Homo-oligomer: A and B are copies of this chain.
Amino acid sequence: MRPIALLSDFGLADPYAGQLRASLARRSPQSQILDITHQVEPFAVDQAAFFLAASAAHFPADAVFVCVVDPGVGSTRRIIGARVETEAGGQDFLAPDNGLLGLLLFTPGLAPARVFDLSGAAASYEASATFHGRDVFAPLAARLAHGESMVCMGQPMDRADIERPAWADPSCGPMGVDARLLHVDRYGNCLLSLRANFEAPKAPAWLRMPWGQRRGIRPVHTYSDLGPGEIGLLSGSQGFMELAANQAAAAEALGLRRGDSVRLLWG
């Protein structure tokens, strides 16, 4: 039975993540259930999109992903599925059509995904109007885990038709590049909406803050390359560029928060 990976904004203090896992365990008892995290900030689709794009490649190559950050639950937003072929059978992704797959599916170098509208398959489960993760996504995921194919469950869609938010595509100009803080991690590192393989015309040397001020930054290879108080820009372990300090919280030093927009300026 295929393993199932979970990503949500349910937190762990409510019984919701537990009920989602339970609903999967009841329907697919042999599947290993693996959490990416349930602590996406409530309704933060951009943060969830980053977590998914950063994590998928580390999960089993045949995993089914259930991604539920869903401000529009109960409205008419679509439920979509994506299929990415891998060397070991392929990964399937289930999510509301709100941009959550917007970073994953446009990862440079990723095999082109096929995308499906699963709203029809979902409709048969919409018994509970408020908890689609447990009552709609989980039974769909269990069917995939049992070997059913997404091709038979949904209507093929053009990948260009899925929701793709502006933050998924930072614009790079002659002076610099605009980026969004998709996440501030536990150590204060600021994860930017710039791929780790981002190629700039020149090395970024300045950071322009949301309130206009400039601050010097240094492109480095790892945290320990940085001196005390210094802010570095590095291509970290998550596949995205990050602003970091050495054993200190860059976010605090810079006064930045998740969702802020910054510009990296060439040296």
Binding site for B on A (CB under 8 A): 3, 5, 9-19, 21-23, 25-26, 29, 32, 34-39, 42-43, 51, 54-55, 58-61, 71-75, 128-131, 134-135, 183, 185-187, 221-224, 234, 236-238, 247
Contact = CB atoms under 8 A, between A and B. Distances in A.
B186 A26 contact: no
A128 B18 contact: no
A36 B15 contact: yes
A25 B60 contact: yes
Contact of A223 (B26, B74, B222, B224): B74
A15 B51 contact: yes
A185 B129 contact: no
A14 B135 contact: no
B135 A26 contact: no
Number of copies: 3
Given A15-B37, A15-B238, A26-B61, 13 more contacts: A12-B38, A15-B36, A15-B51, A17-B35, A18-B37, A19-B36, A22-B58, A22-B60, A25-B34, A72-B224, A73-B223, A131-B236, A135-B237
B185 A14 contact: yes
B55 A39 contact: no
Contacts of A75: 224
Contacts of A135: 237
Contacts of A22: 5, 34, 36, 55, 58-60
A185 B238 CA distance: 30
A203 to B, nearest CB: 18
Contacts of A19: 36, 54-55, 58
A42 B187 contact: yes
Contacts of A72: 224
Nearest to A128: B237
B187 A26 contact: no
A236 B135 CA distance: 12
Contacts of A13: 37, 39, 186
19 contacts: A5-B18, A5-B22, A9-B186, A12-B12, A14-B183, A15-B36, A15-B55, A16-B186, A18-B55, A19-B36, A19-B54, A19-B55, A22-B59, A26-B61, A29-B60, A73-B223, A130-B236, A131-B236, A134-B237
Q: Which 9 A-B pairs have the closest CB atoms?
A: A131-B237, A13-B39, A74-B222, A18-B36, A129-B222, A11-B186, A22-B59, A22-B58, A74-B224
